[in-house]
Amino acid sequence: MDPRRASRTVSDPKIRQVGFFAPPPDRSFSGPPDPISTSTPNPAAATTTAAAANTSSPPPISDLSPSGNSLSPVMIPPPRHSSDTTHRPVPFPPVSPLRRDTLSLTVGSYNNNNNNIISSSPTASFYDESKGITVKVSPTPAASSFPGGGFDLTAVKASSVPASGLTTVSVVKTLPPGFTEKVGGSVEMQNDLPANSKPLKERTSKAERRALQEAQRAAKAAAKAEGSKLSATTSGAVASANAKPTKATKPSSQKNDSATVASSEKKGGDRPPEKDRKKDAPHPRMQYDDKSRVEKAKRRAVVKQTEARNRVELFRHLPQYEHGTQLPDLESKFFQLDPVHPVVYKVGLQYISGDISGGNARCIAMLQAFQEAIKDYSTPDEKTLTRDLTAKINSYVSFLNECRPLSISMGNAIRFLKNRIAKLPLTLSESEAKAFLQSDIEQFISEKIILADKVIVKHAVTKIRDGDVLLTHGSSSAVEMILLHAHELGKQFRVVIVDSRPKLEGQLLLRRLVGKGLSCTYANINAVSYIMHEVTRVFLGASSVLSNGTVYSRVGTACVAMVAHEFRVPVLVCCEAYKFHERVQLDSICSNELGDPDAISKVPGREDINYLDGCTNSENLQLLNLIYDATPSDYVSMIVTDYGMVPPTSVPVIVREYCRDQVWI
């Protein structure tokens, strides 16, 4: 289906331009929906706005401009689901009763699952413990709200079904995907649907024209500035897209727009641009050696970060800040930070200080914070809930990204949330919509994370035999659950925990496992060659698995996998499917996160070897603290996911079939 080029149209915000005809709410999806609905004379307005929608037609997402009726030129990938995606069946593999809690999953009925999950409190607490990290945002509110939410869900679903047929807003794909002047641009913006990007939206005619001019100007500037960019056009398009919303209306929205757009391109979570055409390549993430972008992002930043003085040249394309400088600053601003909800603020502070770490923990903390924010949210006058809420979410996301670059799991979750917001039927009242969203979030957490972990544990314990010596690196929540469960089942095995500097997360895992009665061996990563002689299996966790089979995980994982491969020891990676991503990466340099260099110079507990104290500012000496690294797929024997145990080559298949278009089957 060809996305049609959207022409500039202006429409009164109160009149919904329907660009996309929602298919009847039955599961079967009938081909690419006719992009032009009957009532829409003008196709999508802002071409560049496109943004989000692509696939799932989020309606004019996050438009900040009150006047905006930006019909996001939307791509029309044939959604595989009906417009009301919440109706989708849940094809979870039937879960055999685990010891911890007996879950009977019946396909298609969320309520049972949810109730089971929530009612068994050990689950909630178990989950917490297994994370091993104090998540200060308690899950109980979510738990308590969930059953209610679940019911609401069905109610809402029922009511929304007929409505969906009428209201196209939820599925608005305004006409053709805004392929703006630059094809890539709209694509970008669309992808921005996920996480940070500020989906562009409608604007008035004058604003549009202004925006178009700005876009062209910015595109030229961006194209010049980004000589080093992978694809100048796409980035230019992005820049133009950025420029557009920037010039749109409110300065505040501008700020958020550019910030979010800029941040969206950051390496953080990347959202494969939902393009209508599946063949569109994701636009490159923000590269920090582009001065203009960095300057722009800095101006919009909420968190003041000073760039590190001693930057490693090889990593100029990544943000490198002075650590420890933002925390006191942010703490003092706690009560003044209006745009940011206090719960989100708290979570951001926890990220900075390192209280919450680990893909699952950060994702859950963020989603729960969003739940709170949504609960407290009230639509201002003259604005639509979906657009304004999406804008707010974007601003929160950019704030969190400034605190600590987003992980890929968080990026995927944000994409999911924005998609949900975009799909809200218009006829819902505000409270209903909010409840709807909250239950959606709850469902995501319970299905994609908690339930997925249970499935992974169930699969993986079959690979543990009596007499095994299992090696793990760092502290992964999934691996910890597997080990504890296997221990409960009565299997006799030993655990070797390999730890690496500077985070030394293995010590936390060690403490928890020893407390539960497992016999453990602890070693530094240097000793992995020594230890590997007696190891029978290696279990590793992952922050994400990329589409070329590369496992993106804590630094040191690649070394462990390589040595295991050398000694012919099978390596099993345990990763929930929601962490999979379309991105590809060959090595650990193209995209990474840089931590605090001071963490390297200080060796805790060993005062005799603090040679490097105070040396961080020497001009010839740099300290490099990588957080992640990329493990090539040939070192990985098997990936255990909630879709089963698959080889690394199956990851793009799972991404395509189950994770694209926010289907989240």
Partner 1 sequence: MSELAVGNIVRRVLHIIREEDHSNTRDAVEGFRLSVGGDNDYIVEQDHLNLSVAAQSSLCRPSLHALLERSPDSATTYFTATTEDDSEEKRKSLDPNARSLEFRRKVISAVNDLIEDINTCHLVIAELAVEHIHHNEVILTFGRSRTVKEFLCAAKEKKRSFGLFVAEGAPKYQGHLLAKELAARGLQTTVITDSAVFAMISRVNMVIVGVHAVMANGGVIGPVGLNMVALAARKHAVPFVVVTGTHKLCPLYPNNPEVSLNEMRSPSEVLSFEEFSDCMDYRIGTGAPQLHVGNPSFDYVPPELVSLFITDIGGYYPSYMYRLIADYYSSDDLVIQQKPAS
- Nearest partner of 20 among 163, 157, 191, 169, judged by Cα: 169
Q: x/- binding map, residues 382-411, to partner 1, per CB under 8 A?
A: ------------------------------
Number of other residues whose CB lies within 10 A of the CB of residue 109: 15
Q: Which is nearer to partner 1, 286 or 559 (CB)?
A: 559
Does the protein bind partner 1 through residue 615 (CB under 8 A)? Answer: yes
- Report d(CA 476, CA 576) in Å as an integer: 12
Q: Tokens for 16, please give them.
A: 């919904």
- Nearest partner of 15 among 34, 37, 35, 40, judged by Cα: 40
Q: What is the 3-state secondary structure (H, E, C) of 152-194?
A: HHHHHHHHHHHHHHHCCHHHCCECCCCCCCCHHHHHHHHHCCC
The least distance separating partner 1 from the CB of residue 282, rounded to whole angstroms, comes to: 23
Tell me, what DSSP letter sits at residue 469? E
Site of tokens 């009560």: 335
- Report d(CA 285, CA 545) in Å as an integer: 17
Burial label, 644 (beta-carbon count in 10 A; 0-12, 13-18, 19+):
middle
Give exposure, 560-599, as e/b (b: 16+ Cβ within 10 Å). Answer: bbbbbbeeebebbbbbbbbbbbbbebeebebbbbbbbbbb
Widest CA span in the chain: 77
- Nearest partner of 636 among 627, 626, 646, 621, judged by Cα: 646
Does the protein bind partner 1 through residue 501 (CB under 8 A)? Answer: yes
The least distance separating partner 1 from the CB of residue 520, rounded to whole angstroms, comes to: 6
Q: Which stretch binds partner 1 (CB under 8 A): 5-13, 275-283, 615-623, 651-659?
A: 615-623
Give exposure, 162-176, as e/b (b: 16+ Cβ within 10 Å). Answer: ebbbebbbbbbbbbb
The least distance separating partner 1 from the CB of residue 641, rounded to whole angstroms, comes to: 24
75, 238, 352, 510: residue in contact with partner 1 (rule CB under 8 A): 510
The least distance separating partner 1 from the CB of residue 408, rounded to whole angstroms, comes to: 17
From residue 544, alpha-carbon distances to 268, 406, 499 in Å are 12, 12, 20
Q: Which is nearer to partner 1, 94 or 614 (CB)?
A: 614
Cross-strand bridge partners of residue 469: 494
99, 605, 607, 617: residue in contact with partner 1 (rule CB under 8 A): 605
The least distance separating partner 1 from the CB of residue 622, rounded to whole angstroms, comes to: 4
Q: Which is nearer to partner 1, 29 or 321 (CB)?
A: 321
Q: Which stretch binds partner 1 (CB under 8 A): 157-165, 238-246, 413-421, 507-515?
A: 507-515
- Nearest partner of 254 among 200, 303, 174, 180, judged by Cα: 200
Q: Which stretch binds partner 1 (CB under 8 A): 343-351, 398-406, 458-466, 552-560?
A: 552-560
- List own/partner pairs for 605-608 with CB under 8 A and 24 or more apart: none
Q: How far apart are the first and last CA of the chain?
A: 24
Does the protein bind partner 1 through residue 588 (CB under 8 A)? Answer: yes
Do residues 594 and 319 make contact, with C-beta atoms less than 8 angstroms apart?
Answer: yes
Does the protein bind partner 1 through residue 630 (CB under 8 A)? Answer: yes
# binding residues, partner 1 (CB under 8 A): 58
- Report d(CA 514, CA 582) in Å as an integer: 38
192, 453, 629, 642: residue in contact with partner 1 (rule CB under 8 A): 629
- Nearest partner of 500 among 475, 534, 532, 536, judged by Cα: 475
Does the protein bind partner 1 through residue 175 (CB under 8 A)? Answer: no
12, 307, 587, 657: residue in contact with partner 1 (rule CB under 8 A): 587
Burial label, 504 (beta-carbon count in 10 A; 0-12, 13-18, 19+):
middle
The least distance separating partner 1 from the CB of residue 631, rounded to whole angstroms, comes to: 8
Q: Which stretch binds partner 1 (CB under 8 A): 259-267, 415-423, 436-444, 616-624?
A: 616-624
589, 645, 663, 665: residue in contact with partner 1 (rule CB under 8 A): 589
Does the protein bind partner 1 through residue 125 (CB under 8 A)? Answer: no
156, 531, 538, 659: residue in contact with partner 1 (rule CB under 8 A): 531
Does the protein bind partner 1 through residue 645 (CB under 8 A)? Answer: no
Q: x/- binding map, residues 320-339, to partner 1, per CB under 8 A?
A: --------------------
The least distance separating partner 1 from the CB of residue 503, rounded to whole angstroms, comes to: 10
The amino acid sitting at 49 is: T
- Report d(CA 636, CA 632) in Å as an integer: 8
Q: Which is nearer to partner 1, 338 or 466 (CB)?
A: 466
Q: Which is nearer to partner 1, 209 or 501 (CB)?
A: 501
The least distance separating partner 1 from the CB of residue 189, rounded to whole angstroms, comes to: 32
The least distance separating partner 1 from the CB of residue 542, rounded to whole angstroms, comes to: 15
Phi, psi of 105 (to 5 degrees): -90, 120
Residues 66-105 interacting with partner 1 (rule: CB under 8 A): none
12, 102, 307, 530: residue in contact with partner 1 (rule CB under 8 A): 530
- Nearest partner of 482 among 99, 95, 121, 105, judged by Cα: 99
> In whole angstroms, how large is the CA radius of gyration of the chain?
24
350, 409, 622, 633: residue in contact with partner 1 (rule CB under 8 A): 622
Q: Which is nearer to partner 1, 31 or 604 (CB)?
A: 604
625, 633, 641, 662: residue in contact with partner 1 (rule CB under 8 A): 625
The least distance separating partner 1 from the CB of residue 507, rounded to whole angstroms, comes to: 7
Site of tokens 């417009």: 83
Q: Tokens for 75, please give them.
A: 């791509």
Residues 461-500 interacting with partner 1 (rule: CB under 8 A): 499-500
The least distance separating partner 1 from the CB of residue 621, rounded to whole angstroms, comes to: 4
98, 327, 624, 663: residue in contact with partner 1 (rule CB under 8 A): 624
Does the protein bind partner 1 through residue 556 (CB under 8 A)? Answer: yes
- Report d(CA 177, CA 2) in Å as an integer: 9
Q: x/- binding map, residues 276-315, to partner 1, per CB under 8 A?
A: ------------------------------------x-x-
- Report d(CA 364, CA 453) in Å as an integer: 13
Do residues 162 and 83 make contact, with C-beta atoms less than 8 angstroms apart?
Answer: no
The least distance separating partner 1 from the CB of residue 267, rounded to whole angstroms, comes to: 15
Does the protein bind partner 1 through residue 584 (CB under 8 A)? Answer: no
- Report d(CA 193, CA 455) in Å as an integer: 29
The least distance separating partner 1 from the CB of residue 488, rounded to whole angstroms, comes to: 16
Q: Which stretch binds partner 1 (CB under 8 A): 88-96, 210-218, 528-536, 573-581?
A: 528-536
From residue 102, alpha-carbon distances to 117, 120, 516 in Å are 9, 9, 22
Q: Which stretch binds partner 1 (CB under 8 A): 245-253, 388-396, 419-427, 513-521?
A: 513-521
Residues near partner 1 (CB under 8 A): 312, 314, 499-502, 507, 510-511, 514-515, 517-531, 533, 555-556, 558-559, 562-563, 566, 587-589, 592, 600-601, 603-606, 609, 611-612, 615, 618, 620-626, 629-630
